Amino acid sequence: MIALLTGRLEALEADRCVIDVGGVGYLVQASTRTLAALPTPPATARVLVETQVREDAISLYGFADAAEREWFRTLLAVQGVGARVALNLLSALSPADLVQAIATGDKTSLTRAAGVGAKLAARVVSELKDKAGALPSGPSLAVPVMAGGIEADALSALANLGYRRGEAYPVVSAVIGRLGDGAGIDQVIRESLKELAIK
């Protein structure tokens, strides 16, 4: 079984990449999060790998870190979640976001992943709720547990517009730092939306 690949990154596509290791090109499927973390070809890349062997194919799935790979394995244990859906979930939500969404029963966040409807999201929450706290959340969870005042209101408003707290928090924090404590909530949300639209 292949558990790790280090080699020259030959190609990057929407949902996969090719890594040349000693003259052999390995086709590795990955989440958009992992693909975004890879260098520009033809640089050297390193990915953790989960290998799946079936009668008709050997498939390699790549991950930027161990937390994402562990979540991939865990998601596959949920009935109705195959490799493609697991990667879609990991593209839409970081391991930290998954921990938070499952622990709080936030099925709506899970349905943002392609191929995940309300029924499957409910099953993921139900089957993993007791395990979520023990699973890795990745390198860091950038969102503080206790945000208050305008910051909390702005994060809540952006979450209602479909932005994840993990992506919205650094932007909101920077906007408030730039505008100062006297900034109004409308101004903070407006400026944050402008910056998020650019990303």
Domain limits, the chain: 4-63, 66-134, 149-198
Q: How far apart are CA 117 and CA 101, in angstroms?
A: 15
Statement: 66-134 belongs to CATH 3.40.640.10: no
66-134 matches 149-198 in fold:
no
pLDDT at 145: 37
CATH assignment, 149-198: 1.10.8
pLDDT digits (tens, 9 = 90+) for 116-152: 899 999 999 888 887 766 666 654 333 333 345 677 7
For residue 42 the two structure tokens come to 């033809």
Q: How far apart are CA 176 and CA 179, in angstroms?
A: 5
Residue 199 confidence (pLDDT) above 90: no
pLDDT digits (tens, 9 = 90+) for 146-163: 345 677 778 777 777 777
Q: Work out the percent of the chain whose per-residue pLDDT is above 90.
A: 30
Mean pLDDT of all residues in the chain?
83
Please check whether residue 71 is in contact with residue 101, taking contact to mean a CB–CB distance below 8 angstroms.
no
Please check whether residue 113 is in contact with residue 95, taking contact to mean a CB–CB distance below 8 angstroms.
no
Please check whether residue 27 is in contact with residue 59, taking contact to mean a CB–CB distance below 8 angstroms.
no
Question: 10 Å Cβ neighbour count for 99?
Answer: 23
Query: For the domain with range 4-63, which CATH number is right: 1.20.140.10, 2.40.70.10, 3.50.50.60, 2.40.50.140?
Result: 2.40.50.140
